[in-house]
Structures are given as structure tokens and as C-alpha cells.
Amino acid sequence: MSSLMGRMMRMPMLISSLLVHAARHSADTEIVSKRVEGDLHRYTYRDAELRARKVAQALARLGCEAGDRVATLAWNGYRHFEIYFGASGSQLVCHTINPRLFPEQIAWIAGDAADKVLCFDLTFLPLIEKLAPSLPSIEHFVLMTDRAHMPESSKIAGLLCYEELVEAENGHYAWPEFDENTASSICYTSGTTGHPKGAVYSHRSSVLHAYAAALPDAMCLSSADSVLPVVPMFHVNAWGVPYSAPLVGARLVFPGPHLDGKSLHELFEQEQVTFSAGVPTVWLGVINHMKNHGLKLSTLRRTVIGGSACPPAMMRTLEDDFGVEVIHAWGMTELSPLGTLSKLKTKHKALPVEAQRRLLEKQGRSIYGIDMCIVGADGKSLPWDGRSSGDLLVRGGWVIDGYFGRDESPLQEVDGQLWFPTGDVATIDADGFMQITDRSKDVIKSGGEWISSIDLENIAMAHPAVLEAAAIGCHHPKWDERPLLVVVRRPGKELTREEMLAFYEGRIAKWQIPDDVVFVDEIPHTATGKMLKLKLREQFKDHRLPGV
Ligand code: AMP
């Protein structure tokens, strides 16, 4: 017997449709951007959609064809937003690169993705001038500014001006329809071992994620919101905010490179922002600035905090002192990124406030579209009792099933189904609240950015006085974690903490250099010779980093 098929229109879920919808139904809703150039830029969804069409035309004129990668090295702003839609909407792939990485890593990533065009903000001109010879796949370098801000001369041959490219087009362009499973964007994560790996999102996964992120038990976004994503557009598409905002017709406020507490607070107030999203570290800056100057937040009512664990004290301060509801969220690059958000169910409203808070401090419940399980060392799933802790695995329509250009599957079978292992260790309670209790992956997360422990160890091991070295994350009140290097000296060799730290200069980005070095007689190992990081983390859990 054959099934009866639905008689519904088959409209592919394409990213361009989000902006087309906003341009039609929220045509005069504003997008406000603090520019790298220093001023505020304002226009509307209607303007953005027209310019995104021009970007699509300009990229085609540069010779881009379906599937080509268009890289960006840019802050949150309207031009970046236009490239998101102009590139993906015309069947190209928008590859957002994290400018905080070490230059060699940026070059490696651009090469791995075989990027054809690189669009970058003025801030990064000196970096790209230096890096251009190491970017052989890039055929066109586009500086995201106007003619007036273009350098008189540049080491980059044929450097193009973004505004000139856009202005040269007429916008007579119809967004193409194609398979919704086509790649829309790529984001590399260094939160894994070895080289960074690319998560390749599809139009379908991005639109589904945009719907889910806007739901009431998630970001609860609506056309009444004025949304300021502090989380960068190079961090998993700013957690999907640039897609969810046009989906609901919310006003967008982009902070550009101005991410310090004072600038953010000014923008929250001036632009009457109602909702924001970012990692805990940025909120520390905002809270300190407000406390030091006796300031309040008059319109900001909700914020999603995630990327690393939100300290309970921060949640309380924001709620009690500034009237901002904190929605603690967990996600990953491999999950587009949202997996869980912490919102109470009706029955929890009867609990004492402290019990409610303990629930809200967890990483939260999964949104429809993401399923999760925890497994023990034997690979069998564990009960949702809030106590059993195991490896956290997820599956869903916006979870990767492999990395860009890699054949091997990261997926793991549990109870006859394939799941993505997150590298996080968690408990889940009977109401579905997940709580991260540890991390099995060997990486350090500082201020929402990854630091590879392997890179730190490889550099240390290259020092002639080092016999063995292990890099572990150590708790830090501002950055959540900072790297601590544990070193065994070679017999008979001298090595001081200062000499070891100086050895990192020029070998890795400054902010990735360990905060401290401790010398030990031996590092614990497993039976198979691997360093026992869990044991080391336990041993140094109370280590006080300098200046803390
Ligand atoms: P990324 O791919 O850079 O977004 O990093 C994802 C990883 O960050 C997760 O696998 C966790 O290890 C960590 N992470 C994200 N959100 C949280 C959170 N709310 N609490 C604890 N860890 C988190």
C-alpha cells in the first residue's frame, strides 16, 4: 500500500525568505548599527533586503558560483548582515571566521574552506595585509567600507570597496529557489581536538533553528522586541539572532566592535533594547560599569546567557539589581547552536524562590527539534534522575552529522539511533532540565573562546627543558576558565615560570598564553599512557591564578 501524500505547497525553507518576509511585513522596522567608523547607521529591513540583493549580484559579478565560499572577518553590523543573506540567498556559502584566532589559524581555516572571496571590516585591514600571501584560495578581497574610508594604497593588490560593489548593482535580482538542504554557511569550531573543524549549516537547518530560537520557552522573540546580539556574528551566526529577528520582525541593534560595558550600556539605553544575548564575560563588563556609575537598565528585560556556564551570582545581580530576566542556555557550534534553555514550567512557579533559582541555574530543557540523552562508561543510556551523570549526546534537525571535508562520522550509536557526542558531561532531571557537570573533551574555554590544550602542550614540549606538559582549565572569576600549565622538567634542567611563559610569545595569540605554570614531579597517566586530565583538574581545582 502506498502512503497518501500531503497536498501542501512545497516551499523550500530558504534563508532569503526570512529577509523577504521582514522586508514585506516589517518594511520600516529599523536595523541600527554602531559602525567600525564610529558613527551610528540606521536603515530598515526594506533597505537591507534590497542591498542584500545587490550583494548577491556583486558576488555573481565577481565570478562566484553556487557552492562557492564567501568568507567574512567582521563585527556585528548591517554590512555583515547583508552578506549573510546576499551570499546564502544566492546559493553561496557564508563562512564567518573568528578574528580572535591566531593569524596562522585564520589562514589555515580559510584554506581548509577554500574561500573564494574575503569580506572584512576596516579593523582587520592590517591583519589581512599581512596574511594575504598566505590566503591563496582568495580571489577577491573586499573591504567592508565606503570609498572615503578606503586606504590610499594597500599591500593587497586589487582591494575592492564594499560600498562601490553594492552601489554598482541595480538590485533587479530574484532570489533563486533551490534545495533547502543546500549549504548556507560554515562556522569552524576549535572546541575539538586537532585542527579546527567546520560545521556546515543548511538552509533548512538554519530556518528550523530560527523558528525554534524564537519560541516562548526559548528566546521568546517578537515584533515588539528591539534585539541587541552581543554574541558575535562569527560565533555560530550570533546564536541565530540575525535569522530569528527578521522571522518575527524584531528591530535589530548591532554593536559593531564596541563591546565594552560603557558602550553596550549606552546602546541598550539609547536604542531602547529589550532583549540581548551574549557570553557571561561581556555581562561582567556591563554590570561593573552600571555599578560603578549608579546606572540602571530602563528597557532591557530579558537576556540569554550561554557559551559557558553563567555564574549564579551574575544571574541574581541582573535579576535583583537590574530587573533583567536571565535565560541560561547551552549549545554548541555543531548545534547551530541552541540545544537547551532554562525556563520554568507552570508547576515550578509554586516552588520557593531559591528552588526556582536552582532550576534556572541549570543549562535547561531542550527545545523541540533537539533530543538528548546521557550515557555511562558502558555506552548505555542513564536515567533522568538529576543525579546520574554521563556523556551528553544529542540528535536533531540542526545538529551536524559530520564536519566539512571530513569523511569520518563523529556520531555514536545509542539504543539503535545515531547521536552526536557533545564532549560535555551532564545530568538530566525528571523534568528534562539538563545540567553540565564536567567536560570530557580536552579543551579550555576562556571568555567564550576556545583555547586548544594540545596547542599549549605542543609548544611547551618544544622547550628543551620540558619533559612533559599538560594544559588544563582553571576556574577564573572573569573568564570562567584560564589555562594553567602543569610541567615536568627534564632531569638536570632549569626552567622558571617566567621563562616558560616567555616561550609562548609569538607562538600563539596573547590571550591564549597560560596564566600560570606549576612544576610537578610527575603527571598522572591512564593505563594506555594518556594524561589523566580529569585527575589533574581535580588536583588543581583550588589553584589560585595570579591576580585573582
Ligand atoms: P561552542 O561550539 O564554541 O559554542 O562551544 C560549545 C561548548 O561550550 C559546549 O559543548 C560546552 O562545553 C560549552 N558551553 C556552552 N554553553 C554552556 C553553558 N551554558 N554552560 C556550560 N558550558 C557551556
Q: In whole angstroms, what is the distance from residue 395 CA to residue 418 CA?
A: 7
What local confidence, expressed as pLDDT, does residue 307 receive?
Answer: 94
Q: How far is the CA of 479 from the centre of ligand 1 (A)?
A: 13
Q: How far is the CA of 480 from the centre of ligand 1 (A)?
A: 11
- For residue 167 the three cell numbers come to 552601489
- Which atom of ligand 1 is nearest the CA belonging to 328? 19
Look up residue 512 and give its DSSP letter: G
- Which atom of ligand 1 is nearest the CA belonging to 337? 4
Contact 394, 410 (CB under 8 A): no
Q: In whole angstroms, what is the distance from residue 376 CA to residue 34 CA?
A: 48
What local confidence, expressed as pLDDT, does residue 427 receive?
Answer: 97
Q: How far is the CA of 317 from the centre of ligand 1 (A)?
A: 22
Q: In whole angstroms, what is the distance from residue 214 CA to residue 200 CA?
A: 22
What local confidence, expressed as pLDDT, does residue 191 receive?
Answer: 83
Q: How far is the CA of 399 from the centre of ligand 1 (A)?
A: 14
What local confidence, expressed as pLDDT, does residue 532 receive?
Answer: 85
Contact 328, 362 (CB under 8 A): yes
Distance of CA 375 to the CA centre of its chain: 26
Instruction: Pick the residue whose CA is nearest to atom 9 on ligand 1.
Output: 332
Kindly give the pairing relationship between strand 69-73 and strand 93-96. parallel
Instruction: Pick the residue whose CA is nearest to atom 13 on ligand 1.
Output: 308
Neighbour-count burial of 265, counting CB atoms closer than 10 A to its CB (0-12 exposed, 13-18 middle, 19+ buried): buried
Query: How many other β-carbons are positioned within 10 Å of the β-carbon of residue 480?
Result: 21
Q: How far is the CA of 332 from the centre of ligand 1 (A)?
A: 6
Q: In whole angstroms, what is the distance from residue 399 CA to residue 369 CA?
A: 9
- Which atom of ligand 1 is nearest the CA belonging to 189? 2
| Residues noted as catalytic | 189, 334, 445, 450
- Which atom of ligand 1 is nearest the CA belonging to 309? 20
Pocket of ligand 1 (CB under 6 A): 189, 191, 236, 306-309, 328-333, 337, 363, 422-424, 436, 439, 445, 450
Q: In whole angstroms, what is the distance from residue 81 CA to residue 50 CA?
A: 12
What local confidence, expressed as pLDDT, does residue 452 receive?
Answer: 87
What local confidence, expressed as pLDDT, does residue 95 receive?
Answer: 98
Residue whose CB lies within 8 A of the most ligand 1 atoms, among 96, 193, 305, 308, for a mutation test: 308
Angle between helices 45-61 and 78-89 (to 10 degrees): 60
Q: In whole angstroms, what is the distance from residue 530 CA to residue 264 CA?
A: 44
Q: How far is the CA of 330 from the centre of ligand 1 (A)?
A: 6
Alpha-carbon dihedral 103, 108, 109, 113, rounded to 10 degrees: 140
Residue whose CB lies within 8 A of the most ligand 1 atoms, among 330, 338, 341, for a mutation test: 330
Instruction: Pick the residue whose CA is nearest to atom 8 on ligand 1.
Output: 307
Q: How far is the CA of 393 from the centre of ligand 1 (A)?
A: 13
- For residue 195 the three cell numbers come to 585542527
Instruction: Pick the residue whose CA is nearest to atom 17 on ligand 1.
Output: 308
Q: How far is the CA of 339 from the centre of ligand 1 (A)?
A: 10
Residue whose CB lies within 8 A of the most ligand 1 atoms, among 424, 442, 446, for a mutation test: 424
What local confidence, expressed as pLDDT, does residue 148 receive?
Answer: 95
- Which atom of ligand 1 is nearest the CA belonging to 334? 2
Query: How many other β-carbons are positioned within 10 Å of the β-carbon of residue 269?
Result: 15
- Which atom of ligand 1 is nearest the CA belonging to 450? 3
Instruction: Pick the residue whose CA is nearest to atom 12 on ligand 1.
Output: 424
Contact 83, 242 (CB under 8 A): no
Q: In whole angstroms, what is the distance from residue 480 CA to residue 483 CA?
A: 10
Q: Which residues of the chain have pLDDT under 50?
A: none
- For residue 126 the three cell numbers come to 592590517
- Which atom of ligand 1 is nearest the CA belonging to 305? 19
Residue whose CB lies within 8 A of the most ligand 1 atoms, among 445, 449, 479, for a mutation test: 445
